[in-house]
Copies of this chain bind each other. A is one copy, B any other.
Amino acid sequence: MSKQTVWTIIGGGNGGQSMAGHLAIMGYRVRLYDIFQATVDAINNQGGIHVDGVVQGFGRLEFATTDINKAIKGADVLVVVAPAINHKEIAESCMPSLSDGQIIIIHPGATCGAFEFKKVLDDGGSQIDCLIAETNSLIYACRSTKPGYASILGIKQDLKIATLPASGNTRVLEVVREAFPQIVGAKNVLETSLENANAVMHPAPTILNTSMIESDHEWLYYWEGVTPTIGDFVVDLDRERLAIGKAYGVQLESIMSFYKKAYQVEASNLSETVRKNPAYEKIKGQKDLRTRYLLEDVPMGLIPMIELGKMRGVDVSRMETIAKLAEFLLNEDFHKDGRTLKNLGISDMKPDEFDHFIETGTRETNKQKEFV
């Protein structure tokens, strides 16, 4: 593929507009889909997106649209840039318009985003031959002050991507790295799913800041919210995450190592480490418990991690404690619509079936196995 690759960005928030503008500036053919007519109109009226920051210029789009079918038809790559709690609905909207050979990238997938997208297609009886990839994080530090304008403050290095099935990794990586050489390949979607740092960095500190959130005090999420005890507990949670990775044969990076590598900060504990990170200086703490830090990062982060861990006998009791407490405090049943293995359709797979599914995207039936 060349710059003739047609990219469709699904989601016109900060990340989606930054990516659409950036790709268009690079010279790609880009469409943008959003549910808000006002966003779409603002972009179409000016013909594209103004980008500033570490990328500067005007990215001229083919079009923005609220018509998902129009957005998808003829596109080579679809990039979903939306909250994880919307992924399922987006998959359902996309399904009727998909065609063979398309690449879908969930950016980021939170935990098990690719599994969930594939489950929607399988349940819908889709016969389309597509590749579903996910990244472990958003590639940009960015913001959008109004429709049609995006500020890219930074582009992350070593963002991970993996494909379901993993046999498609090479093809997806080739297409994606042409535009984003910062992206590297992960072994499989378990690696990207377990590298979702939000699952350890958001729910536990949020819960342990409950009174601060509901107080009159303004506070800084990392600099003040990650106290010594909270930081140590997050590191313990992170050890559970690393142990899940080990059980599935994927090598993950510890949160402490991540900070050292990504921000060149290092200290004896996590609380001091985040306080040394100038990128966190102005990140305010929330003033309401009901934010994505719980509503998304528990059902789409901690819960699938917990269930993956339990499937291989890993001790995930700290993660479980936090997920349960989040459900109790918010009076929510995050297991109902969250990414449980049952909801993902993978709860009854034996270890070798699961490995096979990740590698090939197909499920061996018992009958097939009998004849092997």
Residues of chain A having any CB pair with chain B under 8 Å: 205, 207-212, 214-215, 217, 219, 224-225, 227-230, 233, 236, 289, 317-318, 321-322, 324-325, 328-329
Contact = CB atoms under 8 A, between A and B. Distances in A.
Total copies of this chain within the assembly: 2
Which of A210, A215, A217, A228 is the most central at the interface, judged by chain B CB atoms within 10 Å of its CB?
A210
Contacts of A219: 211, 215
B328 A236 contact: yes
A333 to B, nearest CB: 13
A329 B318 CA distance: 10
Contacts of A224: 211, 215
A229 B329 contact: yes
Contact of A211 (B209, B321, B322): B209
Contacts of A322: 325
A227 B215 contact: yes
A229 B318 contact: no
A321 to B, nearest CB: 5
A214 B236 contact: no
Q: Choose among A209, A289, A329 the residue with the greatest number of B CB atoms under 10 Å from its CB.
A: A329
A109 to B, nearest CB: 28
A224 B217 CA distance: 11
A321 B328 contact: yes
Contacts of A209: 210-211
5 cross-chain pairs, A with B, having the tightest CB-CB distances, nearest first: A214-B227, A208-B210, A209-B211, A211-B212, A321-B324
A214 B230 contact: yes
Nearest to A325: B321
A214 to B, nearest CB: 4
Nearest to A285: B211
Contacts of A324: 317, 321
A192 B293 CA distance: 41
Nearest to A290: B229
Given A208-B208, A211-B212, A227-B215, A233 B329 contact: yes
Contact of A228 (B214, B217, B233): B214
A230 B217 contact: no
Contacts of A325: 321-322, 325
Contacts of A236: 328
A233 B321 CA distance: 15
A270 to B, nearest CB: 13
Contact of A208 (B207, B228, B233, B317): B207
Contacts of A211: 205, 208-209, 211-212, 219, 224-225, 227, 230
